[in-house]
Amino acid sequence: MRIGVDLGGTKIEGIVLDSSGSICARQRIMTPRGDYAATVIGIRDLVTALERDAGLSKQLPVGVGIPGTASPTTDLIKNANSTCLIGQRLNHDLESAL
């Protein structure tokens, strides 16, 4: 099983997929506008809720799609239309939050 998160400018949607690719749980929340810390917390809380909804007692691998890219050199987000992400270490911050 695994979790996929789509971080967009207006919504953050997450799903739990089983080994056959079937959806076990799905939730959507609004993206906090211009608030990086609240976005990280929102993703953390969404992942926790998805694991609970899927009846899981363990943490699952999480993949996150974002409107931008992480620099392979610095790991800082660049070219994001969600400007609060630019210059942030989203990978590191999500790993710490989760």
* pLDDT per position as a tens digit, 16-41: 999 899 999 999 999 999 999 999 99
Give the pLDDT of residue 58.
78
Superfamily, domain 2-97: ATPase, nucleotide binding domain (3.30.420.40)
Question: Who's near 15: CB < 8 A, 6+ residues apart?
Answer: 3, 4, 23, 25, 26, 50
Task: Decide: 14 and 42 in contact? Cβ < 8 Å.
Answer: no
Side-chain half-sphere exposure of 1, counting CA atoms within 13 A: 15
Mean pLDDT of 34-55: 94
Mean pLDDT in the chain?
Answer: 93
